[in-house]
Structure 1
Amino acid sequence: MQFKAMIISNREVSPGYFRMRMTAPPEMKDARPGQFVMVRVRNAIDPLLRRPFGIFDIGINEAEYPGQGPQVYLEILYKVVGKGTETLSTYHHGDHLDILAPLGTGFAADTPDEEKILVGGGIGLAPLYYLARKLVDKHRVRLFIGGRNRDDILCVTEFERLGVETYVATDDGTLGDRGFVTEVMERHLLAEQRAKTIFACGPMPMLKAVAEISRRTGTPCQVSLEAYMACGMGACLGCVVKGKEHAEDSPDYRCVCKDGPVFDFSQLLWI
């Protein structure tokens, strides 16, 4: 769908990180965790391209004025890294954005195992909150959050309110364990011998480490990739990654926007 969304709130949740809530049509309630939206950040030529953002949450907002019915809302979580996100950070309640959504392939969360392991690095946490909300009623859910320092650790309280067991690791040790979040995850993964599935989103080095742990331990794993996107629908081929069958004489490319952004880790070439 393409729709106009009115911004309800746009607040800074950590230095340089923002959580934006906006109105959305009722059909957005059918969006799957792991899908994303493309946002036109300005009604101008510069910046020209829409920006992709994972769906952080979708829910029902109580009526703001008498006589209004409940309103579906959409939330995104973003980091200010360039002109587009810098522009987004200046918007306030009542401003409007042009949205394409929902796009891409989401997480396949209906796996029969007992426990779900969520792994997020930095802004890669964004699509995992909506996934956690869908899982906690039926499964034990554990979340592992990693970042360079405490400012990169987002929304811990929100996950804990859902009933998610949360573990934190930072590179400099300013919050939680010192070291990589994948090391913390692997220790917990090996400590209990029960069926699990891993859902991960974050920078590529983290995802490569998660994929290797999944391969080594035989744990099913789905990864959500981050990529620069121009169209969001597989037309421009600007966000391709190598599939597992890729070779110089027989290319195997997958579009992150259309074939993903969520993939089974075994479908990708991690070299």
Structure 2
Amino acid sequence: MQFKSMIISNIEVSPGYFKMRMTAPPAVRSATPGQFIMVRVRDAIDPLLRRPFGIFDLGTFATAYTDCGTQTYFEILYKVVGKGTEMLSTLHQGDHLDILGPLGKGFMPGDPSGEKILVGGGVGMAPLYYLAKEMVKTSKVRLFAGGRNKEDILCITEFERLGVETYVSTDDGTLGASGLVTEVLEKHLSESIDNKTIFACGPFPMLRAIAAIAGRHDIPCQVSLEAYMACGVGACLGCVMKGRNHSNETPDYRCVCKDGPVFDYRDLQWD
């Protein structure tokens, strides 16, 4: 669906990182954790392409402007890295954005029994919050959050308010454990691997390391990939990954936008 959404708030949650809340039309209210939207930053040729953003949260708040007294909203989490996101960061309450969504395939929570392990890095935390919000209703959830420094650790308080047990690590040791988040994850799994499922989103090197960990321990694992996208619907083939059956003789490519962004780690080639 293509729709216009009004900005409710656009707040800097950490230096260079913003969380934007927007009004949600009926199409977005049915979004599942892990799906994303494509945002036209402004009504002009430049920048030409939409930007993809995972859905951070979906909910309602009280308002005096609707007959029922509540308004449905959704949120995105983004980092200012270029011209498009720089423009987004300057927008204010009452501004409108042109949006496509919800798009892609989200997470499959599966059996509610057992422990759900979420692993996120930077803006990879975005789809994990909405996922945690749904899973804590029936499952025990742990979060492993990593970043280069403390400024890359986002929205931990929001996860803790859900009742999620959180573990934090930074490369430089400025917050939580010192080192990679995958090292903290490995330490936790060394204690027990029984009845656990991993859900991860973040930079590709982190996801590749998590896929290797899941393979060694034979743990179910779903990963949400980040990719540059031009269309968001599988038409441009600009965000392809090699599938597990890929070879020079029999190509097997998966579109991150259409076939994902969430994949079973066994369905991809990580080399």
- For the criterion TM > 0.5, the same-fold answer is yes
1:173-221 per-position Cα deviation (integer Å, ceiling 9, x unaligned): 0000000001101111221343010000000100010000000001000
Question: Which runs of structure 2 are paired with 1:62-211 in the superposition (5 Å)?
Answer: 62-65=62-65, 67=67, 69-211=69-211
Offset at 1:63? 1.1
1:86-113 per-position Cα deviation (integer Å, ceiling 9, x unaligned): 0000000000000111000000012344
Distance in 2, matches of 1:111 and 1:104, equals 22
Which letter maps to 1:119? V
**Matched residue pairs, number?**
271
Q: Give the match's secondary structure for 1:126.
A: helix
Which letter maps to 2:244? K
Which letter maps to 2:196? K
Distance in 1, matches of 2:18 and 2:154, equals 10
Offset at 1:64? 4.0
What's the % identity of the aligned pairs?
A: 70
Q: Which residue of 2 aligns with 1:46?
A: 46
Which letter maps to 1:8? I
Q: Which residue of 1 aligns with 2:3?
A: 3
Tell me the TM-score normalized by structure 2.
0.98
CA RMSD in angstroms, aligned pairs only:
1.1
Find runs of 4+ consecutive structure 1 residues off by over 3 angstroms: 64-69
Which letter maps to 1:259? D
Which blocks of at least 5 consecutive residues in structure 1 are unaligned? none
1:93-147 per-position Cα deviation (integer Å, ceiling 9, x unaligned): 0000001110000000123441100000111111000000000011000000000
Contact 1:105 1:262 in 2 (8 A): yes
Q: Give the match's secondary structure for 2:205.
A: helix
Q: Which residue of 2 aligns with 1:216?
A: 216
Question: Which runs of structure 2 are paired with 1:28-47 in the superposition (5 Å)?
Answer: 28-47=28-47
2:233 is aligned with 1:233: yes
Contact 1:113 1:197 in 2 (8 A): no
Q: Give the match's secondary structure for 2:110.
A: coil
Distance in 2, matches of 1:232 and 1:249, equals 28
Q: Give the match's secondary structure for 1:10.
A: strand
